[in-house]
Amino acid sequence: MFEEDRLELVNSLRKKGITDERVLDAMLKVERHLFVPEAVRHHAYKDIALPIGYGQTISQPYTVAIMTQALKVQPGHKVLEIGTGSGYQAAILYEMGAKVFTIERNYELYNRALKIFDELNLRIAARCSDGTIGWEEFSPYDRIIVTAGSPSIPKNLKKQLAIDGILVIPVGDRQTQVLKILTKISEEEFRVNEIPYFAFVPLVGKEGWNGK
């Protein structure tokens, strides 16, 4: 279902500058319409963010593509995602051969994601907690991706990243953020690249924003 729409979406991402064929390939395979509420399903293959309930959104496909491309995921990589939301980004990483660990703070969204992972037989490790403190048990991670906007870079995430690992995180105020791409050079040193102008829902937690 929706195969043509998916192909059209992927072609539009290519035109917008996404060049990593492995990312485009994963986006061609993962059925985004299964990750969004039925009421907005007919919009699933437009390049827009969509509401998934509880004031949260599934990121715009272009944003998913650019973040995943920046992450340079290789098969077998251990990847930690903060902000499971719909589960779509986690499914893309899984499709690319990563071992995916994902954290969601909203219990309803967490449960919904577990259900879809199960239905699609995606073996993704998920937990419901505050992702700003990471998931120490399985660290270090080769890659960490944060899909909500943060006021700063949580120190535990830096700590739980492997040497040579890459962390992608939107940092800024509550409205707009720049995408920070950190490469860990040593225990204390990071190389940082930035891609401007994104708008994510807030990362709420101990090392994120306060309240709702």
Residue positions annotated with a catalytic role: 59
Q: With respect to ligand SAH, which residue has the nearer C-beta, 103 or 171?
A: 103
Task: Examine residue 68 and tell whether it contacts ligand SAH (CB under 6 A).
Answer: no
Do the Cβ atoms of 35 and 90 come closer than 8 Å? no
- In the complex with ligand SAH, the residue whose CB is nearer, 83 or 165, is 83
Q: How far is Cα 123 from Cα 120, in angstroms, rounded to an integer?
A: 9
At closest approach, how far in Å is the CB of 83 from ligand SAH? 3
Kindly identify the residues of this chain, within the stretch 97-116, that bind ligand SAH according to CB under 6 A: 103-106, 109
Residue 19 to residues 24, 61, 111, 132, 172, Cα–Cα distance (Å): 8, 14, 34, 30, 26
CB 130 to ligand SAH: min, Å: 5
Buried/exposed 41-68: b ≥16 CB within 10 Å, e otherwise: eeebbbeebbebeeebbbbbbbbbbbbb
What's the rounded Cα separation, in Å, for the pair 131 and 40? 27
Instruction: Let me know: does 68 contact 91? Beta carbons within 8 Å.
Output: no
Interface with ligand SAH includes 177 (CB under 6 A)? Answer: no
Least spacing, CB of residue 186 vs ligand SAH, in Å: 27
- Of 132, 135, 144, 181, which one interacts with ligand SAH (CB under 6 A)? 132
Using DSSP bridges, classify how beta strands 177-184 and 190-198 pair: parallel, antiparallel or unpaired. antiparallel
Does 88 participate in binding ligand SAH (rule CB under 6 A)?
Answer: yes
Binding site for ligand SAH (CB under 6 A): 56-59, 82-83, 85-86, 88-89, 103-106, 109, 130-132, 147-148, 201, 203-205, 208
